[in-house]
């Protein structure tokens, strides 16, 4: 995992369709898909850095907007659940631009914000998804600013409570290089997976993000090279495969 997930590269191609046309191929509205083989490879990659054994709570973040953090978090949670063999909790703490509610077709908008504000308990806002073994907590609803919410939250206690609900927890957060939110969460979890967009994220920016994660007390478990482009036409690549 210190390198990249080859399985996630192929999963991104499945989600994006043919790279040269920009079309999207998805199993359901907004949901990223992967094959059984790719799920297996993801589980192997996660096991290599002890995700699921010693590492129970994982932040999935990026440096900038649009690198595919939410899709990667969904794919990791799906693979880790192993079709219901494990209990996985997917949590949206991206209060800036939340998207997991749409991707997972959430039935209720209430989530983390409502728990922090004291309106709801964690049990009340945790909901099932279409994937066996994967449950979701959305970012939630409320009028408070993200920083106000984070200052109000006892993040270590919240992460501990999330961990008590599942075998493994994946937390989607805003970009590290743009907002202070991610640093607040990163210091309370077991590790961080950094999503890097291929041919887009500057190396210097990614390096500064890794330094920021470590400065916040987080441990970088590895990186995911997402949205890898295929420059060889599909017809030709199939001939030489």
Q: Where are the beta strands (DSSP E) in 4-162?
A: 57-62, 88-92, 127-128, 134-137
Tell me the three-class secondary structure of the chain, residue by residue: CCCCCHHHHHHHHHHHCCCCCCCCCCCECCECCCCHHHHHHHHHHHHHCCECCCECEEEEEECCCCCCHHHHHHHHHHHHHCCCCCCEEEEECCCCCCCHHHHCCCCCCCEHHHHHCCCCCHHHHCEECCCCCEEEEECCCCCCCHHHHHHHCCHHHHHHHHHCCCCEEEEECCCCCCCCHHHHHHCCCCEEEEEEECCCCCHHHHHHHHHHHHHCCCCEEEEEEECCCCCCCHHHHHHHC
pLDDT-based confidence at residue 151 (cuts at 50, 70, 90): confident
Listed by start position, the domains of the chain span 6-229
Fold (topology level) of 6-229: Rossmann fold (3.40.50)
Window from 17-31, 113-127, 135-149, 209-223 with minimum mean pLDDT: 17-31
Give the pLDDT band of residue 3 (cuts 50, 70, 90).
very low
| pLDDT band with cut points at 50, 70 and 90 for residue 230 | low
Structure tokens at 79: 């693979």
Distance of CA 24 to the CA centre of its chain: 19
Does residue 40 or residue 175 have the better pLDDT?
Answer: 175
The mean pLDDT value for 69-90 works out to 93
Looking at residue 1, what is its pLDDT? Answer: 52
- How many CB atoms within 10 Å of residue 57? 21
Give the pLDDT confidence of 101-146 residue by residue, as tens digits: 988 888 899 999 999 999 999 999 999 999 999 999 999 998 778 8
Least confident range from 23-32, 58-67, 181-190: namely: 23-32
Which letter does DSSP use for residue 35 in this model?
A: -
């Amino acid at each position: 995992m210190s390198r990249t997930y080859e399985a996630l590269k192929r999963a991104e191609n499945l989600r994006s369709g043919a790279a040269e046309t920009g079309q999207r191929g998805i199993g359901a509205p907004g949901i990223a898909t992967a094959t059984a083989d790719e799920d297996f490879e993801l589980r192997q990659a996660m096991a290599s850095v002890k995700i699921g054994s010693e590492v129970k709570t994982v932040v999935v973040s990026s440096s900038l907007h649009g690198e595919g953090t939410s899709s990667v978090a969904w794919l990791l949670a799906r693979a880790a659940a192993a079709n219901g063999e494990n209990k996985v909790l997917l949590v949206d703490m991206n209060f800036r631009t939340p998207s997991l509610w749409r991707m997972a077709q959430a039935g209720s908008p209430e989530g983390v914000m409502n728990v922090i504000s004291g309106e709801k308990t964690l049990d009340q806002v945790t909901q099932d998804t279409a994937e066996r073994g994967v449950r979701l907590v959305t970012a939630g609803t409320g009028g408070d600013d993200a920083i106000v919410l984070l200052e109000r939250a006892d993040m270590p206690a919240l992460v501990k409570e999330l961990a008590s609900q599942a075998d493994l927890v994946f937390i989607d957060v805003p970009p590290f290089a743009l907002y202070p939110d991610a640093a607040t969460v990163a210091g309370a979890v077991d590790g961080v997976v950094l999503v890097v967009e291929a041919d887009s994220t500057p190396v210097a920016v990614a390096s500064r993000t890794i330094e920021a994660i470590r400065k916040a007390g987080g441990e970088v478990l590895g990186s995911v090279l997402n949205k890898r482009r295929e420059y060889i036409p599909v017809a030709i690549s199939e001939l030489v495969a």
